[in-house]
Amino acid sequence: QALVVLRREVYTKFFALAPAGQEFFKQSTTRLHFLAEKVVTMTLDIYKEPRRMVEDISALGLRHVGYGIPTDLFGPYVTACVQVVRMLTDDDSAEEAFRWSLSLISRILTRVINEGSTLVMKAINSNSGKQLKKAVACAPRGKRALWMLNIQVGTQSISPLMWALETGSLDAAKSIIVDLLTIRADRDRYYFGMDILFERHPDVLKRLCLEAPALMPTLLDGLIWR
């Protein structure tokens, strides 16, 4: 019964505290209830298995980078959850334990999102090839390809290219492929992103065939220089 109340009330209070949050919680009621239950489970698991949970939360945070979730919504969400728990119990210790663990989860998510919100990911969220070109223009030549293929926060990583494909940001994905397969040079060496592309994503041809077949000519045109 308490869980039913928590699932229902947490969003009522959260939307009252942060009306902008409604733009990011457009899922079905069933899905929202599942998320609320998951939050409660995480607050317990972080006491039981802190090391595993930090990794899981970091992975979750990187996915939120791709969703473009503003970090300033975490504070009101934590407040809403704590207010609901306060309604359901008179045990101050239980309430404090819940508040502490949920606040810790919020801080981890905020750190991961802030570190992972690169200019490249922001360009992908906007599905803008033009923004993506500007984002990688300031990258050192030796790091340019990695900016588009790997974002690492702690032990977790996400691929901007694969995220662009999964979310349908095909304009940004095309710009990434074109940039990776453009030959560049400085006084010391030439740079061509084919090797690092296939090292990071050996299945890139399969993924393109399944998720973005329209980009296959772009990839093959770039590989002709091989």
| Tens-digit pLDDT profile for residues 67-90 | 778 888 999 999 999 999 988 888
pLDDT at 9 over 90: no
Looking at residues 173-191, what average pLDDT do you find?
90
* Beta carbons within 10 angstroms of residue 62's beta carbon: 23
Report residue 203's pLDDT band, with 50, 70 and 90 as the boundaries: very high
Q: What phi and psi, each to the nearest 5 degrees, are found at residue 185?
A: -155, 155
Q: Which of 117, 27, 101, 11 is nearest to 64 (CA)?
A: 117
pLDDT at 155 over 80: no
Report residue 226's pLDDT band, with 50, 70 and 90 as the boundaries: low
pTM of the model: 0.75
pLDDT at 225 over 70: no
Looking at residues 104-121, what average pLDDT do you find?
90
pLDDT at 47 over 90: yes
| Widest Cα–Cα separation across the chain | 70
Q: Which of 141, 163, 142 is nearest to 151 (CA)?
A: 163
Pairing state between β 184-185 and 190-191: antiparallel
Flag the least confident range among 106-110, 169-173, 183-187.
183-187
**Average pLDDT taken over every residue of the chain:** 89
Report residue 162's pLDDT band, with 50, 70 and 90 as the boundaries: very high
Report residue 1's pLDDT band, with 50, 70 and 90 as the boundaries: low
Q: To which residue do tokens 């006084």 refer? A: 187
Looking at residues 13-23, what average pLDDT do you find?
89
C-alpha to C-alpha distance for 57 and 155, rounded to whole angstroms: 11
